[in-house]
Structure 1
Amino acid sequence: MLLSSMSSVDIESLATDFYGLIQSFYHAPLYHIILEILLFFAVMWLLFFRKPRPIEKKLTEKEKQELIDEWQPEPLVPTVDPNHPALNVRILDGPVGKYITIDNEQSLNFASLNFLNFVGNERIQSKSIQAVQKYGVGSCGPRGFYGTIDIHLELEERLARFFGCEEGIIYSYGFSTIASIIPAYSKRNDVIFVDEGVHYAIQKGIEASRSNIKWFKHNDLDDLERLLIEQENLDKKNIKKARATRRFLIVEGLYMNYGDLCPLPRMVELKYKYKYRIFIDESVSFGTIGQTGRGITEYYNIDRQQIDLISSTLEYAAGSIGGFAVGSSFVVDHQRLSAQGYCFSASLPPLLAAAAIEALNIMEENSDLFETLMYKSEQLHNKLIAIKGYIIQGDYLSPLKHIRLPNEFNTTGRLESIVHFAQTKHITITVARYLQDEHVLPQPSIRLILNVDITEEEMDFLCAVLQEALVVTI
């Protein structure tokens, strides 16, 4: 009846509309149809299936109190062993030099990274006092905001000259130096080849860079070249992307966690074959390795122009605070606007810059310091190897060595017992500490540090105590 009441024009118009609807359905993008179907089901769910929100029941005062009485708060911190080292801190008094006072008892110090015994040096103390009298204790501002003082520029110039580079830059904190430098250069989609044994500050720097990280086995150049070949093959598949991708190799001159040297000459050869930039962190090797303490490049007699950037800390051999980097002006200047540790940290206190300058003066005046340190490092290495029951890790020239026990005995607890026994004999040593999120957690070890002023008799005393500790504690 409805159709009979409609004119032929109306029926034709309806058919045309229906045909147009069918055509639009066929020509509509698939994602559009799926979206409309999902919206239809969402509306149906809201209209027919969604449960109404329950009406909240008001509790009486008695019910509220019962809930409060039943509630047991979770502890803010996990349960900690009362014998944990963090709860049994040894208190230091006075400068941390060759000798150290712990809990009012003096002992021989093999635990501090004070390689050249500059902590407490009278010349350095005198220069620091003069700097306080002239500049005060600090600028309270970043370098770019009224924080730069002439002594900062002098230290940067001295460091550049010391390493034979065009320019230097200093940071206020050793850890933030390399951790800021890496993300200043390497960005997302860049590639970083890095030794899996690098210390924690480097790990944090490469994490902050958000780059593509390629870890190779510690000091394994065959594994490094394998990764380089893999990257080269990937680059051939996408040449346009490869042209925009920067590649970096990041290593340590002398590894903090292992005490061994990096095989730099072969790495330089691979640099020109596979086209990457080399960043070396010389935190431990600066002031300890090389005929004049200029680090791994001097030890291998490698032109520093072949190394794109050298970074280090002033907190070990130099006996001050802060860090620095040296290289070409083109490379170093980039950090002044891009390295967060430089841009946003208060500048290095002038007294610490003065201390670092005077430390450099002493290094340049007494180059025999480094020959003595390397000779004594080799001497100590041979004495430690002669002790039965220990595994000694580290280069024979390194003043930093790791001592471990055989596998079945090498636990942190047993090493701690050796440390405590040594302290009763007035020898201060320490177990190496690591954070649980390290990329590769090194095996437990005692980190042993040699001070240049340690005598052969004192080395013999250390070895005798270590030998006795094996008998007493194991």
Structure 2
Amino acid sequence: MSTPPQHSHTHAPVFNFELLHSIVLSFADRLFEESNKIPVFKYIVQYIRKSHQDDPYRTMIELCLIIYGIIYFLAKPKKTRAHNANNLYLSNKETNLLIEEWEPEPLAVPISEDVDKSGAAWRLKSIPKIVKYYNSKPNYVDLQVNGAENTYTNVLNMSSFNFLQLNTHPEVMDAITETIKNYGVGSCGPAGFYGNEDVHYNLEYDLAKFFGTENAVLYGQDFCVAPSVLSTFAKRGDFIVADNQVSVSIQNALSLSRSTVYYYQHNDMDSLESLLIKINEDEKHEPIIHRKFIVTEAVFHNSGDLCPLDKIAELKEKYKFRLFLDETLSLGVLGAHGKGITEHFGFEKTGSVVDIVVGSMANVFGLSGGFVLGDDVMSYFQRIGSNAYCFSASLPPYGAKGCSAILDVLKRDNSTVLNLQKNSRKLHDLFFSTTSILNYFQITSSEYSPIVHLSLTPDFRYSKFGSTLEDIYAKLLKQQETCKQDIEIEEFNKEEFFLQSIANKVLERGNILIARNPHALKHESLPISPSLLVCCSSSMSDEEIVKSFNVIKEVIMEVV
């Protein structure tokens, strides 16, 4: 009987982990014995031994990682053929030839003299250069336009935002002079490091006490206050409801905050309330609670009218929003004592209705810098989180001391504020009562504002230039999408050139300086309207105001 064939079974080699473990241990023991001769490694070895006793597998993994790391860092990368092909070696002759052929782009776009295509040339030529101030006559200046050949003397300045002119008050001048002697002319550093002196902290206290808030924070530049502050407290995911005619400074602030921004129709409380209701309804479905702000201006930079603060305050409380208010053109102007729009509407203190107030010392105070008013918590967080406060040079000490001196004058005597308000109403009444002007120009500013805003009526704009504000805004957005360095809109340029021609004739005929409302089209993100600005101050007489109005009226009726 034959036996069945025997089948041989081939066994796969089995990895002997115990053998590897013993080899590693013997190697480690030898390594440890040698390392014990070095004092520093003695403690390292003790730590490794103890760790190995607790978890030997962890030691194996760590050892493999160390070996891999050594091999990785010591290995040299191999240069591929493609890498070598990309390295072009040029001779000196080829290099010089390329350099000679290279034509750099101009640092600035060449200026075109064509008014329709570009407004840069005539805008630069129309900028007045003040060459002399008169301390005895603060409303008058000597200036040059487009070079020394066009010099005007004793010009009535109706384009200045220095409405109260208290920076020339003897007490203020003495305080500034004494501060310059003691502190110099610059702070030479950010506020949080070594830029702030005692005069800065004194001014913060004076501002908070005068305007009725818990605290105040100073900034070296007024234009950067709103962008820096709003982006400190509003972040991605938060909600902001803003007026659709806010200034370019607040537009930058809204962009930098990265929040979800909604715009309501200008001073339309029904539009505002509908957005507040929508946001609160949508928030009910959100897993977290967002910060919510209403953002507006007290006196609007682009139109000159006032926001209805009393109604906004009611909606703010009703729908649980915080209120961010720009009082750049209202502090020192509105209210019996110049405390701003809160005093104008009868609120006892600014902090009782507004959460964050931003203001400027470059307008009504005639100095420089800006400030923020609010409660202690907001101010403390701002000092450690606001970019402009942490990284920008602080206000010059003499500016801080000068502003404190101006506040002292306003506390004792509010006659300059009352005179300014009287002149503002006088100037507006003259324009509002002249039908011949209102046929072509509309006055958008409030009688409480010291700035009269004159812009073309829609009918006159269309008949003269064939355009509407909607057309201008549509072209603005279209050019911004292309990321052009300089934005030029033909209809906008023609209208501004027309307004500038009025300002030029007023200067030539009456020795009176008025101005256009400046716009930076590259940074504007909301609808804009070209306009003329006619400003008054507290020290202007009725005769000066009437004379100026008559000259402006005469020129307007000639050019329309």
Instruction: Give 1:413's match in structure 2, choosing from 497, 500, 503.
Output: 497
What secondary structure sits across from 2:166 in the alignment?
Answer: coil
Tell me how many residue pairs correspond in the alignment. Answer: 424
Distance 1:71 1:401, change over 3 A: same
CA–CA distance in structure 2, aligned partners of residues 191 and 281 of structure 1: 18
Tell me what 1:193 maps to.
241
SS in structure 1 of the partner of residue 384 of structure 2: helix
C-alpha contact (below 8 Å) 2:419/2:539 kept by paired residues: no
Residue 217 of structure 1 deviates from its aligned partner by 1.6
Cα shift at 1:182: 0.5
Which amino acid in structure 2 is aligned with residue 407 of structure 1? R
Cα deviation per residue 1:35-78 (whole Å; 9 max; x = unaligned)?
Answer: xxxxxxxxxxxxxxx9x9799797995x8888777665544432
**Alpha carbon RMSD of aligned pairs, Å?**
2.5
* Largest Rg, 1 or 2: 2
Q: Distance in 1 between matches of 2:108 and 2:187?
A: 38
2:182 corresponds, among 134, 138, 155, to 134
The answer to whether the 8 A contact 2:197-2:397 is kept is yes
Amino acid at match of 2:432: I
Matched, 1:278 2:340: no
Letter in 2 for 1:345: S
Distance 2:451 2:312 in 1: 23
Distance between the aligned counterparts of 1:159 and 1:430, measured in 2?
Answer: 31
Contact 1:253 1:281 in 2 (8 A): yes
Distance 2:406 2:414 in 1: 12
Q: Does 1:397 align with 2:482?
A: no
What are the within-5 Å matches in structure 2 for residues 333-348 of structure 1? Answer: 333-348=380-395
Is contact 2:236–2:258 with CA below 8 Å preserved after alignment? yes
TM-score (norm 2): 0.71
- Whether 1:121 and 2:166 are equivalent positions in the alignment is no
1:17 is matched with: none
Q: Which residue of 2 aligns with 1:451?
A: 537
Asked if 2 retains the 8 angstrom alpha-carbon contact of 1:291 and 1:367, the reply is yes
Superposition map of 1:242-261 within 5 A: 243=289, 245-261=290-306
The letter for the 1-side match of 2:529 is Q
Cα separation, 1, equivalents of 2:163 and 2:89: 71
- Say if 1:318 and 1:360, in contact at 8 Å, map to a contact too: no
Distance 2:216 2:106 in 1: 49
Distance 1:164 1:71 in 2: 62
Change (3 A) 1:194 1:223: same
Q: Distance in 1 between matches of 2:392 and 2:90?
A: 53
Instruction: Confirm or deny: 8 A CA contact 1:281 1:311 kept in the other structure.
Output: yes
Give the Cα–Cα distance (whole angstroms) in 1 for the partners of residues 87 and 361 of structure 2: 66
| Percent of residue pairs bearing the same amino acid type | 31
* 1:174 partner SS: coil
Q: CA deviation at 1:212?
A: 1.1
- 8 Å CA contact 2:167–2:406 kept in 1: the answer is no
- Map Cα deviations across residues 149-205 of structure 1 (whole Å, 9 max, x no partner): 111111111111101211111111111222211111111111111112111211112
Q: Unaligned stretches of 5+ in structure 2?
A: 1-6, 11-81, 114-120, 145-150, 466-494
Task: Quote how far apart the aligned CAs of 1:254 are.
Answer: 0.9
> Which deviations, in whole Å up to 9, do the C-alpha atoms of 1:333-388 show, x marking residues without a partner?
11110111111122211111111011111211221322222122111101012332
CA offsets per residue over residues 274-320 of structure 1, 9 Å max, x none?
11101111110000001111011111112432221222011111111
Provide closer, same or farther for how the CA distance between residues 89 and 255 of structure 1 changes in structure 2, counting only shifts above 3 A: closer
Contact 1:322 1:348 in 2 (8 A): yes
TM-score by length of 1: 0.83
In the alignment, structure 1 residue 77 sits paired with structure 2 residue 108: yes
Query: Corresponding residue for 2:76?
Result: none
Equivalence for 2:526? 440
Once the two structures are superposed, the pairs formed by residues 233-312 of structure 1 within 5 Å of their partners are: 233-238=281-286, 240-241=287-288, 243=289, 245-303=290-348, 304=350, 305-312=352-359
Aligned to 1:47: none
Q: Which of 407, 414, 428 does residue 513 from structure 2 map onto?
A: 428
Q: Which residue number in structure 2 is paired with residue 38 of structure 1? A: none
Residue 376 of structure 1 is matched in structure 2 by: 423
Which AA in structure 2 matches 1:84?
W
2:426 & 2:228 partners in 1: Cα distance? 37
| Distance apart, 1:102 and its partner CA | 0.6
Bigger CA drift: 405-414 or 269-278? 405-414
The SS at the match of 2:443 is: strand
Distance 1:55 1:325, change over 3 A: closer
